[in-house]
């Protein structure tokens, strides 16, 4: 165990600087709270970018993980194990789909969805081999692999990683006319976040997801929803697509699916889509491992009860009511989001997002800025109203001081 100064010094000297963390060194955590090596407590208003929807040290998830640790943790997909079928059946049922292809990280699930769409395009739709196109949105965030950054519009994420993977068409997010114009006979899929998280919690105009659904159905194109951050309760529903009564062809899931315990991701779709894979054509050593399945099964069981979605919806309404009162008061220029998920734009005259985040840290609240002047608020869904209100008080005081 190290002190704050030692931990910061070692990270500075020996870790690649691909992140710029706040100078807090967490030692333990429970529920919505983290404690640092000096014993100071912090309210976690980021929740591991929504990987921790069910909070730190969730009893049900820890019990499921511990029980599975003692039984068997890894078999590889060379053999069956006794949690795999249950996991696939339950996750498919949660999504209202027939089949699951498990992976580990979100980026791997997005890669899997890209492969699924291309293979479906060639083998089912009849697109000439090598010609498949996937339409994506500007300001997307789908992960960090070389193929995924090939269709990013964020220079930090993309620059100097070429040569880039071809086959992607980028259109403005929320613009149905541009989307319709980009779809051709060779288009196999439209890949979108139903709410763009990293871009600053951008909610598309009402009717957009419905429009995407109708267009993709008419043009025989797969609608692939990246619900890695927006899904599994965050917005007050199991999936953000539900806010527009939309069912995509393909769900891409990750983050909260592993309960903040282990990385678990998956692509979920019907047999006419995921049925394109035959043995040897795709895979992952760790994908669908027994520990991952045991934890994810508990996550799915918690979501099946609907209690977390309901809590997120109710507390989310409260959060947005309170945040909207700040708009126009000087420091806050806009607030967006749904459920327990908000992007708060700060007037640059009041300080950068980073400065606001540092000031909040001094007051015991941990958030993360994005794109310079936006604060993202996404506490664990298990947060109670008193703690949320306390966090909001700290935000109000920081903004008043700035
Ligand atoms: C986090 C995220 C990813 C990537 O997930 P990793 O587990 O970090 O690879 C992909 N899509 C969205 C929408 C995300 O928020």
pLDDT of residue 402: 67
The residue from 226, 345, 369, 387 that is catalytic is 226
Q: Is 86 a catalytic residue?
A: no
pLDDT of residue 220: 98
What is the per-residue burial (b if ≥16 Cβ within 10 Å, else e) of 19-36?
Answer: eeebebbeeebebbbbeb
Supply the DSSP symbol for 269: E
Cα-based torsion angle of the residue sequence 211, 199, 144, 84 in order, rounded to the nearest 10 degrees? -60
What is the reported pTM?
0.98
- Which of the listed residues 254, 263, 267 should we mutate to test ligand 1's pocket, taking the one with most ligand atoms within 8 A of CB? 254
- Residue keyed to tokens 């692939």: 224
Q: Is 226 a catalytic residue?
A: yes
**So where are the chain's domains?**
4-57+307-401, 71-305
- At the top level of CATH, the class of 71-305 is alpha beta
Phi (first) and psi of residue 30, to 5 degrees:
-155, 130
The residue from 42, 54, 141, 223 that is catalytic is 141
User: CA nearest 153: which of 168, 140, 166?
Assistant: 140
Give the integer Cα–Cα distance in Å for 303 and 309: 7
pLDDT of residue 328: 85
Q: E strand or H helix at 99, and its extent?
A: strand 99-103
According to DSSP, the residues that pair with 148 across neighbouring strands are: none
Nearest atom, ligand 1, residue 105 CA:
7
pLDDT in tens, the chain (402 residues): 789 999 999 999 999 999 999 999 999 999 999 999 999 999 999 999 999 999 999 999 999 999 999 999 999 999 999 999 999 999 999 999 999 999 999 999 999 999 999 999 999 999 999 999 999 999 999 999 999 999 999 999 999 999 999 999 999 999 999 999 999 999 999 999 999 999 999 999 999 999 999 999 999 999 999 999 999 999 999 999 999 999 999 999 999 999 999 999 999 999 999 999 999 999 999 999 999 999 999 999 999 999 999 999 999 999 999 999 999 888 999 999 999 999 999 999 888 999 999 999 999 999 999 888 999 999 999 999 999 999 999 999 999 886
Give the integer Cα–Cα distance in Å for 326 and 2: 39
The residue from 255, 286, 345, 387 that is catalytic is 255
DSSP code string of 120-165: HIIIII-PPTT--EEEEETT----SSHHHHHT---HHHHTT-PSPP
Nearest atom, ligand 1, residue 230 CA:
13
Please list every protein residue whose CB sits less than 6 Å from any atom of ligand 1: 49, 105-107, 110, 141-143, 193, 197, 226, 228-229, 254-255
Handedness of CA 248, 250, 253, 257 (dihedral sign): positive
Two tokens, residue 300: 């799915």
Q: Is 141 a catalytic residue?
A: yes
Measured between alpha carbons, how far is residue 138 from residues 170, 179, 192, 253 in Å? Answer: 6, 11, 10, 20
CATH topology of domain 4-57+307-401: 3.90.1150
**DSSP three-state, residue 200:** coil
Are β-strands 187-192 and 222-226 bridged in parallel, bridged antiparallel, or unpaired? parallel
Give the integer Cα–Cα distance in Å for 385 and 32: 11
Contact (CB, 8 A) for 44 and 29: yes
Calculate how far, in angstroms, residue 325's C-alpha sits from the geometric centre of ligand 1: 31
Give the integer Cα–Cα distance in Å for 342 and 312: 12
């Amino acid at each position: 165990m190290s002190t704050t100064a030692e931990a910061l010094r070692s990270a500075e000297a020996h870790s690649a600087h691909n992140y710029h963390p706040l100078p807090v060194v967490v030692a333990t955590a429970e529920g919505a709270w983290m404690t640092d090596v000096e014993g100071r407590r912090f309210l976690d208003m980021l929740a591991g970018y929504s990987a921790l929807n069910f909070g730190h040290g969730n009893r049900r998830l820890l019990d499921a993980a511990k029980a599975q640790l003692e039984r068997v943790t890894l078999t590889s997909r060379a053999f069956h194990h006794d949690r795999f079928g249950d996991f696939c059946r339950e996750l498919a049922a949660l999504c209202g789909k027939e089949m699951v292809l498990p992976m580990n990280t979100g980026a791997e699930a997005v890669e899997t969805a890209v492969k699924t769409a291309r293979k479906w395009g060639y083998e089912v739709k009849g697109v000439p081999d090598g010609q498949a196109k996937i339409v994506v949105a500007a300001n997307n965030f789908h992960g960090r692999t070389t193929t995924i950054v090939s269709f990013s519009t964020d220079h930090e994420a993309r620059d100097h990683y070429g040569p880039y993977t071809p086959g992607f068409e980028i259109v403005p997010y929320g613009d149905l006319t541009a989307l319709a114009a980009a779809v051709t006979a060779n288009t196999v899929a439209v890949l979108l976040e139903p709410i763009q998280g990293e871009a600053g919690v951008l909610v598309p105009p009402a009717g957009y997801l419905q429009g995407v659904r109708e267009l993709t159905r008419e043009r025989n194109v797969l609608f692939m929803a990246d619900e890695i951050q927006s899904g599994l309760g965050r917005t007050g529903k199991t999936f953000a697509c539900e806010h527009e009564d939309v069912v995509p062809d393909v769900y891409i899931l990750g983050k909260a699916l592993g309960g903040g315990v282990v990385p678990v991701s998956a692509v979920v779709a019907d047999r006419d889509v995921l049925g394109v894979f035959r043995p040897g054509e795709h895979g992952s050593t760790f994908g669908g491992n027994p520990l991952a399945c045991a934890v994810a099964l508990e996550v799915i069981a918690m979501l099946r009860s609907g209690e977390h979605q309901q809590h997120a919806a109710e507390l989310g309404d409260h959060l947005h009511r309170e945040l909207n009162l700040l708009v126009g008061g000087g420091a806050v220029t806009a607030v967006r989001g749904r459920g327990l998920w908000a992007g708060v734009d700060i007037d640059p005259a009041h300080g950068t997002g980073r400065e606001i985040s540092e000031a909040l840290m001094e007051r015991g609240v941990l958030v993360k800025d994005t794109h310079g002047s936006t604060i993202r608020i996404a506490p664990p869904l298990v947060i109670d109203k008193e703690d949320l209100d306390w966090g909001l008080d700290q935000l109000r005081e920081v903004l008043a001081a700035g």
